[in-house]
Amino acid sequence: MQDMGFSCRIPCVKPLLNNRQRQKHLAWAKDKKVWTAAEWSKVMFSDESKFCISFGNQGPRVWRKRGEAHNPRCLRSSVKFPQSVMVWGAMSSAGVGPLCFLRSQSNAAIYQEVLEHFMLPAADQLYGDADFIFQQDLAPAHSAKATRTWFKDHGIPVLNWPANSPDLLSIVKRKMRYARPKNAEELKATIRATWALITPEQCHRLIDSMPRRIAAVIQAKGAPTKY
């Protein structure tokens, strides 16, 4: 296998996309391809994700050639909510906001409390009096009528976002790949410490790369990219 150019690697974890979802990703990317890095800097990105206590089980490996890391047959599909601690966080080109640890599965009412007590303070911290656009995924609590009313009442525009997009908090998960917390409290402490290490410069570089990410989605025709 090695003589044929293959090497044994751990599969990249990407959201599993069907053809319809890929077409939606492609249409969204084409709609946003004219956005500049300056325009993306006005977006506050948010995400919710669960963190596992064990980060050691990286699953089976795959045989692939150079340049095939993101070939669909070489990917391992990610699972959105595996187990353990649920975390909400937000970031912009100016840095990261405060983390929120959720005690239960988020519904519309709980999510609006997160927005009130964590998102609004993060917006003040990251944007001051400047206008911003809020990004969130399409979870039921986010798209609920009551939540849409909350955003309207607070005068906050929400960026349309395609389903099954890569997680923002995967940044933290990659940094915690070799962490070995023994319980939920140690896990929370590790997450907080890792989140605090993300610098404004790193956030700025990530936001600055959005035009390249959009171009990559278009080139991949809506399929997963190296990002």
pLDDT in tens, 21-38: 999 999 999 999 999 999
pTM reported for the whole predicted model: 0.80
pLDDT over 50 at 86, yes or no: yes
Helices 210-219 and 200-208: crossing angle in degrees, nearest 10, is 40
Mean pLDDT along residues 106-135: 96
Residue 51 to residues 42, 59, 154, Cα–Cα distance (Å): 28, 16, 31
pLDDT at residue 122, as a whole number:
96
> Strands 62-65 and 6-9: what pairing?
antiparallel
Q: Which residues pair with 48 in a beta bridge?
A: 88
Are the C-beta atoms of residues 27 and 88 closer than 8 Å to each other?
no
Nearest to 87 by CA among 162, 194, 180: 194
Q: Is the dihedral of CA 159, 125, 227, 76 positive or negative?
A: negative
Q: Please give the residue that has the higher pLDDT: either 14 or 107.
A: 107
Domains identified in the chain and CATH numbers: 36-60+81-219 (3.30.420.10)
Task: Scan for tokens 């990219």, then name that residue.
Answer: 225
